[in-house]
Structures are given as C-alpha cells and as structure tokens.
Structure 1
Amino acid sequence: MTEWLGPEEWAAVALSLKVAFWATLGALIPGVFVAYTLARWQFYGKQLLNVFVHLPLVLPPVATGYLLLVTFGTQGALGAALKEVGIVFAFRWTGAALAAAVMAFPLLVRSIRLSIEAVDPKLEQAAATLGASRFWVFITVTLPLILPGILAGMVLAFAKAMGEFGATITFVSNIPGQTRTVPSAIYAFLQVPGGETAAIRLVIVAIVVAMGALILSEVLARRIARKVGQA
C-alpha cells in the first residue's frame, strides 16, 4: 500500500485509522454506561437524554463541528480551561478524534442499547437475589450476553469515525499531516487539477477498510454468540 499510495495519501490513511481507533475507544465506556442507563433505568429526563445522545445524527455535521469549536476551542468555555493544563483539541488530531467520537456515539449507544434490551431482565434479577451487586450482575451476566452488540456498535462507530468529514473539518480544519484524514484528503485532492486519481485511490482504501471491518465484525460476533449460547 505504501508503494501504491503517495506519502501524503498514506499519511491521511494512517491518521484516519489513528483517529477512528481512539474515537471508538474513547466512546466505548461512556457508550456502554449511557446505553445501560437508557435500557434499564427509569428517571425524569430520560427522553431528553435520549434526544441529546442522538442529536448528532440529525444535526448538520458542520453545526456539530461549530459547537465543538465554540466549546473546546482555545477560547471556548471548556477549551480555555483545558489549555491551561496543556490539553488542546482545536486544530489537532485529538480534536479530530473528539469530533469523530461525538458523531459515532449515537450509533454505538443504539447498538448496545438494543442488545441490553434483548437480555431477559429475569436473568439479572436472579443474580441479584443471590446477593450480587448491580455492578457485579452487569459484569457476570449482562456483559457476556451483550458482547456481540458491543462489537457491532464498535465497528459501526469505527466506520463512522473513518468517514467523518463535516464536523472534523469545521473543528480542526484540513491541515496536511496533522488533521487531514481520508475524507478531508479526498476533498482536498478534488479541489486541484489532476487530483482525481489520488482521490480515487483513497476512496478504494476507504471501501476496503470499511468492508474489512464489517466482515471481521460479523465473524467475531458469530463466534462470541456461539460461545455465549454454549455457556
């Protein structure tokens, strides 16, 4: 691939993989917690939380990126405070990961929530009657049963993070070698004469990575489901 792609194209691919990995990893634990909260808990404001979680799916990505810039930019409400301790997101690859995580979060939560709702609550109640805490019930009963859903959610989040463009370019711009991911690189190549060939190569890479991730997810999900069924 390093011979087929030029240095700038390879840098975009490597950065996209890095951004997608950290975006998915960073969203995982909050995603599981929010999904469990929406699936199992009843509280005032639950529907508002549900709407807030899914808001990035319906908002224009550029609007989401602008909100991130206003909040986490160096002059933003949180960004200024974070800058004081050496944490900067705006116009950095970490900001691209943050934007990708925000955009992928609803898909992750939805997949995990559906898996949790498919688990019979009586199984959890049975473990609780034996004296297990809620956390221990989740770890020993719920988590093994929802692993296929978590895996599916992670793959969806990874694929979404790989393809994120609008929020990313608004929040961190399109800086070669720093914030230029595959979608941003495709856009940049299409703006210059003769850049179509490079853009096509990156489109092919994006398709191959996405298809590979989906196939791997399907294989792993089936294996996990088979092991859970045999347990």
Structure 2
Amino acid sequence: MVNSLEIRAKKLGVLIRDARTRFSKESTDCAQAMGVSVEKFVAFENGEQAPSLPELEALSYFLDIPVEHFLGRKSINTNQTEQSKLHQLENLLPLRNRIIGVMLRKARIEAGISFEELGKHVEVKPEQIKAFETGTFAVPLPELEMICLALNLSMREFQDQQGPIGKWALQKKSVDGFLELPPDMQQFISKPINLPYLELAQRLSEMSVDRLRSVAEGLLEITL
C-alpha cells in the first residue's frame, strides 16, 4: 500500500523533472548542484527517493527558480554563472543540514516529544530522527513536512533566510512584487528623481498611527 510519504515523493519527482527539463539542464549538473550522485538524482525524479529541503533549495538556486516552484510557481533568471553557484553550494548544503537539525532538535525538546513519539508521527525509526537532528542525514522534504505538522511548525521557518539562497529568494520576491505593480507605478519607482518621495513614503509607513495623525493635523493647519 502506498503511503503519504511515497505519494509526496512521486509528486516532487514530477516537479523536479519539470524544472530540469524546462531549463534544459542535464541530470549530472543538477545532481552536482544538489550534492548527490546522478543515480540519487534520477531516483528523486522517479519518485523513488525524496530530496531534503537544503537539496531542493540548492536545485532551486542553481536553476534560478524559487523553492515555491515545487508548489507550482515560476521565477525570473539572474546572470550569476552556474560555476559560481556550484562553488557556493558545495559548502552550503552540509551547513544547511546541520542548521535544520539543530532547529528540529530545539523544536522537539520544546514540544516535549521523544524520538520515539516523533518517529511514530513521521513513520520513521527513532534512530533516523536522531540522525536528522545531528545533520548526519539530510531530512527528505516529505519527512520534514510531517515533522512540521507534528511539532506545529511552518516549513518557511526552515528555509534559508540569511545565506546566499535566502538573499536570492528575497531579491526575487521583491522583483516579483515590483512586476505586479501597475505600469505607471513601476515607471514612477524606476525614476531616480522620485527617490525622495519614496524615502518619505517609507518613513511615513514606519510611523505610529498617533504620529501620522499628528503630521496630518499639522499639514491641515498649514493649508488652512
């Protein structure tokens, strides 16, 4: 009988293959970016195994698509070279696995849940939970999703925030937000001469309601 983890792995495999073929990449390049063997990458695409969040982040970074692509979203390409990205990812993946492990351990202890209890929720052995927490093994995404459910956590908490992938994702989100603005607003923001107005708007947005009310009243007094 196929369980929920296997179904999720199959879906991820389809999305990984779609991402790779969309950008005409070879399995060898994607495997290198994810820090896995070609055989393991093929297993990811076939849904026989599931990648970890750091591995998916690395693939997303390499292909220049957000991790949210694996929920169906799109992205915009950047100009950073593939070799530069691969060099960064070599050191980043092990670090990300350790960080996620520390976060998992902290959340599990705070929730007062044992290895055995969490393993039962996730449908894995307690020893595997221990390996996840030490960063010895990368946490496959389906397992991480189930751990989040068991510990009442958000997947977003585990996504890279401060590293190169996190900064890249934030930049892409900002660009996407800009492109969603009306054309006239985009044009206004793009003109350097309008920078003082944008800075003023930013300062106003940071004011408290009482302070804004005071400023508005002052302006009314000036105009009356």
TM over 0.5: no
Report the TM-score when normalising by structure 2.
Answer: 0.26
From the CA coordinates, give the structure whose radius of gyration is larger: 2
